[in-house]
Amino acid sequence: MAQLTCLGSCREIGKSAFYLEERNESILVDYGTKFTNPPSFPDMVPIDNMQAIAITHAHLDHSGGIPRLLAEDDNLSLFCTPATRDLCIPLIRDMYEISGGRMPFTRRDISRIKRQTQPTAYEETIPLGHSFEMTLFNAGHIPGSAMVSIRYDSKRVLFTGDFNAITSRLNNGARINLPKHDVVVTESTYARRLNPDREEIEQALIQTVLETVERGGIALIPAFAVGRSQEVMCILEEYGIPSKYPIYVDGMARTVNKVVVKHPNYISSPHAFERAVKRARVIYNRQDRANALKRPGIIISPAGMLKGGASHFYFKMLYGDEKNSIVLVSFQIPGTPGAELLAKRRVTVGNREYAVQADVRYHHLSSHSDSRGLMQMLQSIPGNPEFFLVHGESESCDALGAKLEKKGKKVTIPETNDSFEV
């Protein structure tokens, strides 16, 4: 039997990493970071006889520690979609720069990602060593995101990563007719949440934006650089925001847009995204930012929880005028400025607390399956697999576990560094 060790993302979100050993060979699925101060990483594992590191997607809680492994062995092979490879690199570089270089790796280690990645398409099966085969399936989470299926002996383990079975303006939904699996290591992020209808959220977002610009204000949309910024751009394009109201894009989203355009196979409508990119005005410098604030319009800028990035600059310029709107479009983790803003209409940015006069709205465009979607997806996997529940707060893991057990499924909720025979 193989041995599975859950190195991170156990009863928490962050530091996703899963180590599978069989017959003196091993595979690592993800190796992410958690944004503590300083950032933290999963424990190291032996890399001798490691056949591959598979990366489910580019978000840093899944990919941020990869250069730490490459610093130990520059012959390690990485496997992920081409889009994930090209999105990982700027995100990790940005994290490195923000940290002031206080990371257990160097810029050179980051640059190794491109050289050591073997780009892998969806549905492509890759033999790894003597013990393993690997196949990637579309996860529907962000461009290039994948579920990783590992086959060994007569068994098969699925690592879902983050997934969303619902098609959005940006992503096709996750593949749902999966093959038989014996073990499923699954996220549980929104096991206690039901998402509103997608079209209703889009229409509410458009209404907020139009109300703002028509009263002479500016709509600031803090959004994650990868996935959420691009989806908002697509929604604004789809609903035909009048051209007299400019749409601006700033921060890391600018770089991500260029990457996504180069990988049309990993989004739902390449032509629609190209139209959205052409419509948007890119912010390059201080003068561009000053111009964006001169008349009614829409500004899309990371960070999605107002934790930093260019969104801080715009917030400080816009918060005091009730004509403006601050529109949050992602889950706001408790303790972040975005969560504080929603709860109190006051927020600490930098060392100052701001009493916000601008309109504050929340239209959550989730990129994860909700409670209903999780159950539908997991129950549809053939083979009556055992489920290992990760990537969720304790309450979410427990809630999903109770629902699966009620359906007669075997469930395990691991703690960090727990190992299991599978």
Predicted confidence (pLDDT) per residue in 201-248, tens digit: 999 999 999 999 999 999 999 999 999 999 999 999 999 999 999 999
Residues 280 and 183 in one domain: no
Residues 373 and 267 in one domain: no
Q: Kindly state the helix (H) or strand (E) to which residue 76 belongs, with its residue range.
A: none
Residues 7 and 145 in one domain: yes
Place of tokens 């928490």: 12
Residues 353 and 242 in one domain: yes
The secondary structure of 303-353 as a DSSP string is -TTSSSSHHHHHHHHHTT-TT-EEEE-S---TTSHHHHHHHHSEEEETTEE
Residues 99 and 51 in one domain: yes
Residues 267 and 170 in one domain: no
pLDDT of residue 309: 83
Q: Other CB atoms closer than 10 Å to residue 353's CB: what's the count?
A: 11
CATH number for the domain that contains residue 103 = 3.60.15.10
In tens, the pLDDT along 311-334 reads 999 999 999 999 999 999 998 877
Residues 146 and 252 in one domain: no
Residues 95 and 146 in one domain: yes
Residues 165 and 57 in one domain: yes
Number of alpha carbons in the 13 Å side-chain half-sphere of residue 126: 24
Residues 246 and 306 in one domain: yes
Domain span at residue 388?
3-193+367-421
Token couple for 402:
């109770």
Overall number of domains in the chain = 2
> Is the distance from CB of 404 to CB of 386 less than 8 angstroms?
no
Domain ends where: 340, 362, 384? 362
> Is the distance from CB of 141 to CB of 171 less than 8 angstroms?
yes
For 50, phi and psi rounded to 5 degrees? -75, 120
Does residue 59 carry a pLDDT above 90?
A: yes
pTM summary value = 0.95
Domain ends where: 362, 381, 410? 362
> Is the distance from CB of 277 to CB of 170 less than 8 angstroms?
no
Residues 352 and 377 in one domain: no
CA pair distance 341, 306, nearest whole angstrom: 9
